[in-house]
Structure 1
Amino acid sequence: MLTFALAVFLLIVTPGPGVLSIAGVGAAYGFRAGFAYLGGLFIGTNLVALAVISGLAAALLGIPSVRLVLMVASVAYLLYLAAKIAFAGSRLAFIEARTAPGIAAGVMLQAINPKAYAVNTALYSGFPIHPDNFAAETIAKLVISNLIWLPIHFGWLWAGVTLHRLNLPETTQARINYAMAAAMLGVVLLAILSAPRT
């Protein structure tokens, strides 16, 4: 069980679309918007976990055309979120992004987040806790995963909100938003490069 908990921690704490976007939303829009987005990420994460546990994810991702559509949708959505974070509060009318991503955006991100599927597949197909009792193992893993997931994501949100509350000069805040967006773009690039070729 401790090995599973350590694996959850290490797989979740590493930068991916979820943690980078929650920090970015916190830095760009503050706690209230970040909290709504965090709720969406939480719901989406658990929906992905259930899709992996049930085998639905494997069945769908086993179809090359579906996998390609999900990858394209994932890249496009991550680019959209990166742009919203980068241009939050921008005074340029054609790129102004004052509306923060909300619950639906968090659910959507996790639904098309390649890291969410990879992490959940690794966690729920390995690290046996109750190998002779599928229901007990699944429940234990869901509880442990969520108990670790929540404080990590709250920590990333807090880090972003702390930056937001510092009342930094606009140019400094803009640079932070650009850095958050650039980190998300780095994740997009890694997702594209690591995608299986069909």
Structure 2
Amino acid sequence: MIEFALAVFFLLITPGPGVLTTAGIGAAFGFRAGLGFMTGLCLGGFVTMMMVITGMAAVILAVPWLRLALLFTSVAYLTYLAWRVASAGAQVGFIAAKVPLGFFNGFALQFINPKAYVVATTLFSGFAFMPAHPVGEVIAKLIIFNAIWIPVHLIWLGAGVKLHALNLSQRTQRIINIGMAAAMLAVVGIALFAVR
């Protein structure tokens, strides 16, 4: 169970579209605006996990043209987000938006977020700690996952809010942008590698 909790923590703390967008909303619009998006992410993540656990995701992804369409949609969207972050210039630009992304955007993002499927598949197909009680194990994993997921996303949201308040040099802001864009492209790379 400890190994599972550690895996959850390290898989979730790494930048992906959800946490980067959450931080961006915090930086641009404040903590309260980010909570609606985060709630959508949480519910969308739960539905995505249920799709993986029940095998529905495997059935959907077994349709070659649909799998390819979803892959290209995901890769295109994540590459676009990485470009927006990297090209934000000297302003820390997690993800620029004129209006805060709300609940629906957070919910919808999870369905095209390859990291959500990779994380769910990794966590729920491995780390067996109750092999005699698979349903109990799934419930325990969901509780542990959310007990880590919610604070991690709140930390990212708070980091975005705090980063907005800092007066960073232009060079530091550019380095942050490039680092975040590289993290987003790493998610794209994982998605492409997973289909080989």
Q: Which runs of 5+ in 2 are unaligned?
A: none
Show structure 1 runs of 4+ deviating over 6 A: 83-87, 171-174
Equivalence for 1:196: 195
Q: What TM-score results when the alignment is normalised by the length of structure 2?
A: 0.82
1:127-166 matched pairs, under 5 angstroms: 127-166=127-166
Equivalence for 2:185: 186
Question: Aligned partners of 1:23 and 1:174: how far apart in 2?
Answer: 14
Tell me if structure 2 keeps the 8 A contact 1:38–1:153.
Answer: yes
Q: What TM-score results when the alignment is normalised by the length of structure 1?
A: 0.81
1:134 Cα deviation after fit = 2.0
Q: Percent identity?
A: 48
Tell me if structure 1 keeps the 8 A contact 2:52–2:117.
Answer: yes
Root-mean-square deviation (CA, aligned residues, Å) is: 2.8
1:31 Cα deviation after fit = 1.2
Aligned to 2:41, what secondary structure does the other structure show? Answer: helix
Aligned to 2:3, what secondary structure does the other structure show? Answer: helix
Tell me if structure 1 keeps the 8 A contact 2:82–2:185.
Answer: no
> Are 1:115 and 2:115 counterparts?
yes
Q: Which runs of 5+ in 1 are unaligned?
A: 91-95
1:193 Cα deviation after fit = 3.9
Tell me if structure 2 keeps the 8 A contact 1:21–1:81.
Answer: no
Q: 1:57 to 1:8 in 2, by over 3 A?
A: same
Question: Aligned partners of 1:129 and 1:71: how far apart in 2?
Answer: 32
* 1:182 maps to amino acid: A
Q: Report the count of equivalent residues.
A: 189
Q: 1:40 to 1:176 in 2, by over 3 A?
A: farther
1:163 Cα deviation after fit = 1.1
Q: Structure 1 residues 57-66 or 40-49, which shifts more?
A: 57-66
Tell me if structure 2 keeps the 8 A contact 1:44–1:108.
Answer: yes
